[in-house]
Amino acid sequence: MSALSESGRAVPPMMHEIATKVNNAKDKPRKLKVLQEHDSVALRQVLKGAFDPKIEWLLPPGDVPYTANDAPVGTEHTLLSQEAKRLYLFTKGGDNTLSSTKREVIFIQMLEGLCAEEAQFLVSVVNQRVNNEYKGFTANLVKDAFNWDDDFMQKEDRPSFQV
- Domain spans of the chain, in order of start: 15-145
Q: In the beta sheet, which residues pair with residue 85?
A: none
Any alpha helices (H) in the chain, and if so which ranges? 15-24, 28-37, 41-51, 80-83, 100-113, 116-126, 130-133, 139-145
Burial of 80 (0-12, 13-18, 19+ CB in 10 A): buried
Q: What is the mean pLDDT of each run of 10 residues along the chain (163 residues)?
A: 48 89 95 95 95 94 90 78 94 92 96 94 95 93 94 74 57
pTM: 0.86
pLDDT of residue 3: 45
Any alpha helices (H) in 6-99, and if so which ranges? 15-24, 28-37, 41-51, 80-83
